[in-house]
Structure 1
Amino acid sequence: MTIFILLIIKSSMTLQQLKYIVALDLKRHYTKAAELCFVTQPTLTIQVKKLEDEIGTVIFDRNTTPLTPTPIGEILIAKAKSTLREANEFQELAYDNTSSISGQYTLGIIPTIAPNLLPLFLESFLKSNPKIKLVIKEMQTDFIIDALHNGTLDIGIVSTPLEDKTIREINLYQEPFLVYCNDKNTFGTSEIVKQDDLTPDDLLILEEGHCFRNQVLNICQDNDKNKNKAFLFESGSIQTIKNLVKAGLGYTLVPQLSVVEDLENNHIKYFENPKPTREISIVVNKNFAKEKLIENLLFEIKKNIPKQVKEIDNYIKVRWK
């Protein structure tokens, strides 16, 4: 480890280049690795090649599909991971201050949470923490997990549990699922819906890759009699699906924070108790040392979320996988 760190000091090698080779080892594909590092594919490709030229060693075998590390490359990548972990720990310990926090941090948040949660707390959080700059990225859960692993992301907000021993989860709230339909008489005249009443017929869902999609399928496929029926539509946006529902093209399930009840009351039905919910949490790498940042973020979110998610106590968590 000492030799490797000295090599970095004596050359123009950067920690960013080490992040690139770790990401490339994880994804084994230039474009996917670049997405993970929030850079363009040419930038990542050039920097990896520059690093190889400088140390005079080929780290990746380009003649294989997918890319594979060379034998010496595997050793260097392992050292790079250790170096990045130690560099992160050094930075966090060196600049940690129990009374105030400052600096730039990257926050990853899944698309089905971001548009509903960020407007509730972000302004208040930034006013209360004026020395912090947040770089916020909408990312699917799998990408957030990968980025927390390789150090390209500081904090995530996702649906949990992740069941990953290297990631710490700090619970924020339980968010109920609602049935969103065009006709108030869909599934009967009652405003309360039983999970067994749902069928996949005319169900509109998010496209693959969204954990919310998996949760909706888990709710709607509890009945064996419905498991072989086809789903008619998939989209990348809950708002698009809601607009299609309003046009009479089916029904869907939505998270409660995505609904303005005063304006959309004619389109929503509630589940009977125990209500199916998704658990929303802050997630960080186990080595993340900025406890004050986590505490402040937790405080601002819990202070600003509406009472319908603060007060729910009779629920069953729907898993995202």
Structure 2
Amino acid sequence: MAQAVLTIDLSAIRANWYALAAMGRAETAAVVKANAYGLGADRVAKTLAQIGVRRFFVAEAQEGVALRRALGPGPEINVFSGHMTGDTAAIRDAELTPMLNSIDQMLRHVEALPGHPFGIQLDSGMNRLGMEPGEWAALRDIALSQKPRLVMSHLACADERDHGMNAFQLQTFRQMTDGIGAPRSLSATGGILLGTDYHFDVTRPGIGLYGGLPFVDAAPVAALDIPVIQVRDLVPGESVGYGNTWVARKPSKIATIAGGYADGIIRAMGPKAYVWAGETRCKIVGRISMDLIAVDVTHLDDMPETVELLGRHQFVDTLGDAAGTIGYEILTSLGNRYARRYVGA
């Protein structure tokens, strides 16, 4: 069968959540936006709910609707994008908690759904989402009288421990929120690792749950094994793939494996990426195409049936480096053609 197998280790996700939760005393939530970073929000969220996670975060309302369908009533589902035009029915029917980002969203929410739970997102310096200090000062007393479930902001440089932006945003967030009474949240994975000064009442781990940096001690979660379709012998001077970008300089064996950029294997990683055949590293050669990748297996004694692109030898950030990107993009790009296998349920 020419179908790659993506294995998701739910026990590793649980272990990563426990490890991050143990770093402080705050309530530890879970970010499961983008289909749990490509790994299946329904399965991931159910797994975390079973160990006591009661607060989840998604990017937009329709993700929240699907998550509510998977989780059922009870857990709080927070929506980072807030209350957008057209979201009222979804927020009401799925019992979502929008994180309101502006005065306009606040007005929309209290007019359309008076008494419905909400949170507030503040801009402490990232200039992406949230109310800026002046906007918040004008709205603060009115908003707090409605008893928001959470007041949050987001760190821009938390993956760089010594970056001055971290201390600046911490100070700004404190100035905007000290004394408010409502629960506060500033930290995702990187912020958790900065220490308890950044934790406040709720932390929101995302990439750390799924085995990515900056949580260097994370257990690997995703493994990707790709079938070998064919092995061929090349003589010196023969080329491989589109554009003749790789040419054999000596007699070579080339394996063609069943994966490509249609599966989220980023084309740009080709010149720097490897796969593993057992304990042996094998270089990807030529261009990654839509469905196929060529691998140099000249040095192998036995030809494998599958090779490992992700797993115990190679983590998501290793592939991210090869592609000139980050582990987040590797995970969220994983395609729909894989046979997905969940272990550790």
Structure 1 length-normalised TM: 0.23
Question: TM-score, normalised to structure 2's length?
Answer: 0.22
Structure number with the higher helix fraction is 1
